[in-house]
Structure 1
């Protein structure tokens, strides 16, 4: 392996270590979610570096699966937290799918 490969793997390992520290320390749910998403991106970057340096195209499907997992996980957590924020607001009984102006327009039509 070349010096470039060692440097790249060291940077990826350092980033993964820092993401794991943020995942463990927290302090909130959103910090942990961002740390998990960052860790998945670092894993995808590590797979991409390995595939590029070793010229191994068999890693590409795994790279796609990890990328999709990171995306779907981030979107689902964002929707869950967004739903929690809407339900804890002052209008807890109101339908959370439409903004207030759209509900008024719909009621008047």
Structure 2
């Protein structure tokens, strides 16, 4: 059973590392936002794995808090972000 916990920890660590790599190299703010949401989801999975490993359910309250904060943050950024413009002369589609 120890192998399962080690494998789960290794996979979660690799997922977090790959997500941070994408967050640092993302060309647009939306790429970085998706990477941040993914990193929080991986963190939530790690907390759930820790709760199952330690048989301690007191840490599961943090899962609810992370889910609510991430949802509100993602909706806020998606609503109020300024579109990325590659060329300052290009203002986007004309209306």
Which aligned runs of 4 or more in structure 1 are off by greater than 3 angstroms? 88-91
Match of 1:45? 45
Match of 1:20? 20
Q: Aligned-pair distance for 1:48?
A: 0.6
1:1-109, aligned counterparts within 5 Å? 2-81=2-81, 84=82, 90-91=94-95
TM-score (norm 2): 0.82
C-alpha RMSD of the superposition: 1.9
Number of positions where the alignment pairs a residue of Structure 1 with one of Structure 2: 88
Q: Aligned-pair distance for 1:89?
A: 5.2
TM-score (norm 1): 0.72
Q: Which has the larger radius of gyration?
A: 1
Unaligned runs of 5+ in 1: 92-109
Q: Aligned-pair distance for 1:9?
A: 0.6
- The structure showing larger relative contact order (alpha-carbon pairs under 8 Å, at least 6 residues apart) is 2
